[in-house]
Amino acid sequence: MTELSIKALSGVPIIKAGDNLNQIIDDALQQNAVALQTGDVLVISSKIVSKAEGRFVDLNTVQPDERAREVAESTGKDPRIVALVLAESTGISRQARGVLVTQHRLGFISANAGIDQSNVKDAPDWVLLLPEDPDASASAIRDHIRRALGVQVGVVISDSHGRPFRMGNIGVAIGTAGLPSLVDLRGQKDLFGRELAISLQGYGDLIASAAHLVCGEGDEGLPLVLVRGLSYPPTEHSTARDLNRPPEKDLYR
């Protein structure tokens, strides 16, 4: 039986724009006496990736246009935040009082385009956008680990999302490298020999959600999680975009 372990790494400092995230990961591994092994998966909060990449925005610099002011009026949201949400999105999925759900430019559906104000800065008018290209960020971190340590690992950049028909947030993968984000189980057999016909496993999201059980979303300060014991085929081609449902397969349009 495979033994699975999920360990949050302590000692990660508050990340600032321009920080060397590779060095911070190296330091955290050393402080926690962790030697990465081939097949390990490192789950990294999107927040620290965004911070290192300088994705901060001072709301006082944002000038909402007419469209942003209209959406802000109907939702009751800050028009400056709405302007950023629209700039990070390709369309609005749902808007109502207190609700603004959009299709993010990265392809997934999320509230407020993933723009966050929690744990950003000790100032009320700063927000944080999601990483510019989380898949590229995950790939760069994986490449660094491969060069520096000589091991092949998977990397998942995670975020927390709500779901339209379920209460509560879960962890999702918005960037992946080195592992399949989507696993096709079609053609395999069930316990009684029947062939699976429609089973697709959101493998990247499963890993992200497992990591969120130990990293938290408040003041825990645990943005790095090591998952060990998974069995997956290494891949150079899968990305988190594989998890986005194509519009023609959207059952709720």
* 149-167 residue pLDDT tens: 999 999 999 999 888 788 8
What are the pLDDT digits (tens) for 13-57?
A: 999 999 999 999 999 999 999 999 999 999 999 999 999 999 999
Ordered DSSP codes for 167-203? EEEEEEEEEEESS-SSEE-TT-B-TTSPBPSS-EE-H
Per residue in 163-213, pLDDT tens? 878 889 899 999 999 999 988 777 677 777 777 667 778 899 999 999 999
- The CATH number linked to 118 is 3.90.1660.10
Give yes or no for residue 238 having a pLDDT over 70.
Answer: yes
Domains identified in the chain, total number: 2
- Do 139 and 235 fall within a single domain? yes
Average pLDDT over residues 53-82: 95
- Domain extent, residue 113, equals 57-127
Question: 46 and 143 share a domain?
Answer: yes
**Which CATH number does the domain housing residue 231 bear?**
3.30.1330.100
Q: Tell me the pLDDT of the chain averaged across its residues.
A: 90
Looking at 127, 160, 179, which one is the last position of a domain? 127
**Residue 136 sits in the same domain as residue 202:** yes
pLDDT at residue 1 is higher than 60: no
Q: How far apart are CA 44 and CA 50, in angstroms?
A: 11
pLDDT band at 111 (very low <50, low <70, confident <90, very high): very high
**Amino acid letter, residue 196:** L
Sheet containing 89-96: give its strands across. Answer: 89-96, 99-104, 109-111
On whether both 81 and 34 belong to a single domain, the answer is: no
CA-closest candidate to residue 215, choices 35, 26, 10, 34: 10
